[in-house]
Structure 1
Amino acid sequence: MSRKPLTVHVADVCFCHWPVDPDALARTLPDWLTVERAADDAWVTAIHHTVAGVSAFGVDLGNPAESVTVRTYVQGPDGQRGLYFFAAFTTDPIASAAGPLLRLNYRDGQVTRRDADGEGRSERTLDVDGRRALTVRYTPGEEAATTAPPDSMAAFFVERFRVFAEGPLGTRVVGHVGHDPWELGPVEAAVEGDLLSVLGLPEPVGDPLVHYSPGNELGVAPFRPLAFD
C-alpha cells in the first residue's frame, strides 16, 4: 500500500469567512492569480483547527497543536481553482519550522483554546503583535454533519485541492491537498476581532459566515512548478 508524503489529521475545524472588496484583495495577491468571487464578493477565511496528528510516509511527527490559517480563493493562469495562503499560526514549533517547505507563512502569534466542559462550547483566540486579532466562540449543533451540495457557497469554500504560492526568485508553484469531501455540521458562533487589518488585508464589507466540521484527513503533495500542473 502506498503512503502519502505528508498526511495531516485536522479536527474541530471552525471556518470563519469574511466578504471583502475584490479589487482591494487583488492588490494583495501575485499578479498571475485572479480573485475568485462568490455572491459578487471576494472572501478571506480564517480556519481555527486542531492538528490532531501529522505523519510523513507513515511516520508520526510532532504533537497535537492548535492552529490558525488565513487564506483566500483564487484562479490560476489557466483558470484552475485553488487557494492562496496569507498567514499561519500554530502552537507547534516543528510545524512552524516546516513553513518554507509547505509554503505557509508562519508568523509569531499566540493561539489559545478553552472548552466549557460538558457544555460543548469552545472559545478560540489569536493574538498577533500583542493585539487580540480574533476571537471565535462556537457551539456545534447535535445534527449529523453532511457534505455540501456541489454548487453551494459551502462547497466554494471547502472543496479546494490546489494551493498556489510563489517559490524562490518569484517562481510560480502549485501544491495539491487531497481529501474526502468535507462534512459540515450546524454551529452557533460569534466572531470578533480585526484580524484582516492586523494582517494588512482589506476590511470586511459584511458580516462573517461560519462553517464547522468535526474534521478531515489531508494528504499534502509537494509543490512543483506551475508549468507542470
Structure 2
Amino acid sequence: MAMHAAAPESITADPPPQPWPAPLGVALADVAFLHWPVEPAQVRPLLPPGTEPDTYGGDTHVGLVAFRMRSFGEFLETNVRVYSVDDKGRRGTVFLTMEADRLPWVVAARLCGLPYAWSRMHLTRNAHVLDYGSSRRRPKPPTPGNRIRIRVGPPIDGTPLEHFLTARWRLHLSVSGHTVAAPLVHDRWPLHTAELLDLDDQLIAATGLPSPTTAPASVLYAPAVHGRFGIPRPI
C-alpha cells in the first residue's frame, strides 16, 4: 500500500492556533493514558481510507484513555485509540471505541460517525490513587469492559514519545463513506507520571487488536484541559 505523500507534520506539545469556527467546547479532567506499541500492519485495516498508521521508532501505538468529560453536561469516558497520518502529512487520532455513560451524548455522537457505546462507568479517587471502570450495557452479557487503577506521580515536561502519544490536534474518522479530519485544539497537556496498579481490560481486544500481554510502555496522567472542536472537513 502506498504511504502518505507528504512528510508528517512536526510533533508539538503546544497547541496550534484554534480553528474557526470551533463550535463545540469540551473539558477533560482526570485523564489516564496507557499505551502499548503495536505493529503498523495490525492497525492499518482499522483506519479510515486515505490514512496510514503514524509511527514512532517504527512502531505505532494503541492507547487506552480514561477520563471525565464536560460538554453539555458531565460524563465519564474510556476510549481505545490509534494514531494516523493522512496523505497531506497531518497527524491525527482514530478512535476504535468510545465508552460513555451519558446516553444522549452517545446517540448524538454516533450520528456524527464516532464509535460510542453506552456503558456503566465509575471513577473514584483516594488521594493520589484513581480507579476507573466501565461495562458496556449492550449487547447483552458478556460485554467488554475494563478496570484501570493508577497512582499519580509528579508533573513532568514529557519526552518526545510522550508528546507523540498525547499531543494530537485532530481526529480522522469516516462519515458516510468519506474520511474527514476534525480539529481538536486544547491546552497543552499538564502531564504527570503515573504508576499502573491494576488493569483488567477487554476493550482493546473487542476492537480487533490483540489484547496486550505486557505492561504498558507509557502510563501518564493529566489533571485537566479545556478545548474546542472545529468543523470536520474532507481530507
Give me the TM-score of the superposition, normalised by structure 2. Answer: 0.81
- Is 2:113 the partner of 1:103? yes
Deviations along 1:113-143, one digit per CA (max 9) or x if unpaired, are 2333xx33121112245346322111212x3
CA distance in structure 1 between the partners assigned to 2:49 and 2:232 by the alignment: 19
> Is residue 133 from structure 1 mapped to residue 129 from structure 2 by the alignment?
no
Distance 2:31 2:38 in 1: 22
Q: Distance in 1 between matches of 2:112 and 2:226?
A: 16
Tell me, in whole angstroms, the C-alpha distance in 2 between the residues paired with 1:146 and 1:102. Answer: 35
Counterpart Cα distance in 2 of 1:120 and 1:114: 11
Asked whether the equivalents of residues 112 and 175 of structure 2 are also in contact (C-alpha less than 8 Å), the reply is no
Q: 1:77 aligns with which of 80, 87, 91?
A: 87
1:56-91 deviation per Cα after TM superposition (whole angstroms, max 9, x unaligned): xxxxx22x2111122111110222111111111111
Q: Partner of 1:148 in structure 2?
A: 158
Counterparts of residues 22-171 of structure 1 (less than 5 Å): 22-51=40-69, 53-54=70-71, 61-62=72-73, 64-100=74-110, 102-116=112-126, 119-128=127-136, 129-131=141-143, 133-141=145-153, 143=154, 145-149=155-159, 152-168=160-176, 170-171=177-178
Quote the Cα distance in structure 1 between the aligned partners of 2:42 and 2:230. 31
CA distance in 2, matches of 1:108, 1:159: 27
Contact persistence 1:20–1:204 (CA under 8 A): no
Give the aligned partner of residue 11 of structure 2: none
Deviation string 1:187-218 (CA, Å, 9 cap, x unpaired) is 22233323211222234374312111011012
> Structure 1 regions of 5+ residues with no counterpart?
55-60
Aligned residues: 210
**SS of the residue aligned with 2:48?**
coil
The TM-score normalised by the length of structure 1 is: 0.83
Give the corresponding residue for 2:189.
Answer: 182
Cα pair distance change 1:102/1:159, threshold 3 Å: farther
Deviation of 1:184 (Å): 0.2
Cα deviations across residues 27-53 of structure 1 (Å, max 9, x unaligned)? 2223421111123222111210011x2
Structure 2 unpaired stretches of 5+: 1-19
Taking the aligned partners of 2:213 and 2:83, their CA distance within structure 1 comes to 16
Is 1:133–1:198's contact at 8 Å kept on the other side of the alignment? no
SS at match of 2:56: coil
Partner Cα separation in structure 1 for residue 167 and residue 60 of structure 2: 16
Q: Does the Cα contact within 8 Å between 2:103 and 2:118 map onto a contact in 1?
A: no
Kindly provide the amino acid, as one letter, of the partner of residue 30 in structure 2.
D
Q: Please state whether the residue corresponding to 2:205 is helix, strand or coil.
A: helix
Q: Is the 8 A contact 2:156 2:193 kept in 1?
A: no
